[in-house]
Every structure is written in C-alpha cells, then in structure tokens.
C-alpha cells in the first residue's frame, strides 16, 4: 500500500513539473497564459496558438533584397526616356561678296584662252590646281576672252612661281581706263620689275623700274591696283609701283604682248606656274 502511495506522489510531482514547464514555455514564446502551444481562451478552454504578425519576434526576418538590374549597353532605350538632344546651331554661310570674282578655279582654264603668240609653250592645269606654262620659243601665255567687269577702281591678285628660265616669269596685262599696261616681273635677263609702258617707255626705261632677284620654286604674291588717280603694284608686301596717272600716257609695249588684252598673263622663255587669280572691284576714290 505504501508503495502505491509513493508512486502516486511521484506521478503528481512529475505532472506538476511538466505543467509548470508547459506554462513557462508558452509564456516565454507568446507572452500570454497557455500551455506549450495551446493558449487559454478568455471564455474558457484551450486552443492552439497561432503565430501573428504582432506576435513576438524570435528571429529578425531577412529583408527582401531586390536585385539591381543594370540595362545592357546595347539595349534600346525607350523613346520616352531619351533626353532630347539640343539641335546644333547651324550658322548660315556669309553671302559671297559680289565684288570679288575668282578668275581661275584650279580645275580648268575656263574663260582663259591660250594666246597664239607663235611658238608658245604648252599651257595646262596641274593636279595641284595650278596653271602651268611650259617653255616657249618666245612668249607663252593666256588672255581673258570675256569682257572685264570694269577698267578702273579694281585690283587683281595672283601668285606666281618661276620654275626654270632666265627671263620674266610673270607679265600681267590689265586695263587702265581706255588703255592697257603690263606689270613685268623678272624681265630683261631676270631682274627688271616695272610697268610697260609709261609715256612710251617700257619697264626697263621708265621711273617704275626696279631690280629684284627671284629664286626658282618660290611663290610670289602679285597685286595690281588701278584707280582713277594711280596705278600701284606689289610683290608680296613690297610696293614696286606707285604711279600717278595725271598727264601720263599709259600704253602697251608694241609687239606680241598686245594680244594679251583685256587681261593676260605671259612668260618669256621661262617655265612658270600661277594660282589664286582673283579680281576685286573697289569703290571709287
């Protein structure tokens, strides 16, 4: 009999301890009365405890990390997302100066005609866009076959080069009111510069005569200016001619050069080249 009593007491103690553990475990997990996973209802009885969002947090949930998707380099961008690129400002070309006329375009002779002096050398346009004269027996040259824009208050510019020879490599003939004159560069053996003719005297005899040296294969810039009052001429930046026209007779030297009117370029037994031939009208002084 005593043995049965001890067994009942031991069972009671075990159940009591198990109940305490269940109550403590429930409270620790859910912070409210219950037994293990059963909660005590206010109306009586027990029901299984359900985990709720507002319930205790035993483990901090891992935040959802959304992967960052980089657009592919070659992927097309939606038109709506494209930023409108500012249009580049297109500046209009300045209007061409009607007073500036290009007489040689570097492609063909155009309005230049080979002058038939007799025994002239070959005249052609090079691949570099230059007009070249070959050796002639005497003169080689070209003349303008159209009317000139005017006969006074203008200037002509060009670049000339002596390739080979010992006489003038550029004789530029131009209008002077009702007459014509020639600006000779490197004549009479290669050094004389001046106007032909002034008061019937050619460039080697009149007051415009200068003596200069001209190396081969060098470009020289030639400029002739004609106004109502005077004729001026430059080689590069050096003024070679400054001639008042009042009471002066201007004419061409008699001979083949008379075929060079109204505008002409000639050389004498000399290979030469020319480029950038331009006419410019000037306001009356």
User: Could you report the per-residue pLDDT of 109-168, keeping only the tens digit for each?
Assistant: 999 999 999 999 999 999 999 999 999 999 999 999 999 999 999 999 999 999 999 999
What superfamily would CATH give domain 100-281?
Exo-inulinase; domain 1 (2.60.120.560)
- To the nearest 10°, report the CA torsion of 205, 191, 164, 233: -80
pTM score of the predicted model:
0.68
Strand partners, 272: 133, 162
Q: CA–CA separation, 253 vs 189, rounded Å?
A: 17
Q: CA–CA separation, 233 vs 185, rounded Å?
A: 11
Number of neighbouring beta carbons within 10 Å of residue 180: 21
Longest CA–CA separation in the chain, Å: 172
Q: CA–CA separation, 130 vs 219, rounded Å?
A: 12
Domain boundaries, the chain: 2-48, 100-281
Q: How much is the pLDDT for 73?
A: 52
Q: How much is the pLDDT for 61?
A: 47
Residue with tokens 């030639």, as numbered in its chain? 222
> pLDDT-based confidence at 89, cuts 50/70/90?
confident
Q: CA–CA separation, 109 vs 126, rounded Å?
A: 11
pLDDT digit string, tens, across residues 237-259: 999 999 999 999 999 999 999 99
Residue with tokens 């200069």, as numbered in its chain? 212
Query: Average pLDDT of 209-230?
Result: 97
């Amino acid at each position: 009999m005593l043995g049965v009593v001890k067994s009942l007491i031991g069972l009671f103690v075990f159940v009591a301890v198990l109940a305490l553990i269940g109550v403590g475990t429930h409270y620790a997990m859910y912070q409210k009365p219950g037994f293990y996973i059963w909660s005590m209802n206010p109306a009586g009885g027990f029901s299984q405890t359900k985990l709720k969002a507002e319930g205790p947090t035993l483990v901090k949930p891992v935040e959802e990390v959304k992967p960052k998707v980089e657009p592919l380099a070659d992927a097309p961008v939606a038109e709506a997302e494209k930023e409108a690129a500012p249009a580049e400002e297109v500046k209009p070309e300045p209007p061409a100066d009607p007073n500036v006329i290009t007489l040689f375009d570097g492609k063909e002779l155009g309005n230049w005609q080979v002058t038939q002096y007799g025994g002239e050398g070959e005249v052609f346009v090079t691949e570099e866009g230059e007009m070249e004269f070959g050796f002639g027996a005497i003169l080689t040259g070209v003349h303008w076959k159209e009317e000139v824009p005017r006969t006074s208050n203008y200037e002509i510019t060009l670049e000339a080069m002596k390739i080979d020879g010992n006489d003038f490599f550029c004789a530029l003939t131009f209008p002077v009111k009702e007459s014509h004159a020639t600006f000779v560069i490197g004549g009479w053996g290669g050094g004389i510069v001046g106007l032909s003719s002034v008061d019937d005297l050619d460039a080697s005899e009149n007051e415009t005569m200068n003596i200069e040296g001209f190396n081969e294969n060098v470009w020289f810039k030639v400029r002739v200016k004609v106004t109502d009052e005077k004729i001026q001429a430059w080689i590069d930046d050096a003024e070679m001619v400054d001639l008042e026209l009042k009471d002066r007779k201007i004419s061409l030297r008699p001979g083949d050069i008379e075929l060079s009117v109204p505008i002409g370029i000639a050389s004498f037994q000399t290979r030469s080249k020319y480029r950038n031939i331009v006419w410019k009208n000037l306001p009356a002084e």
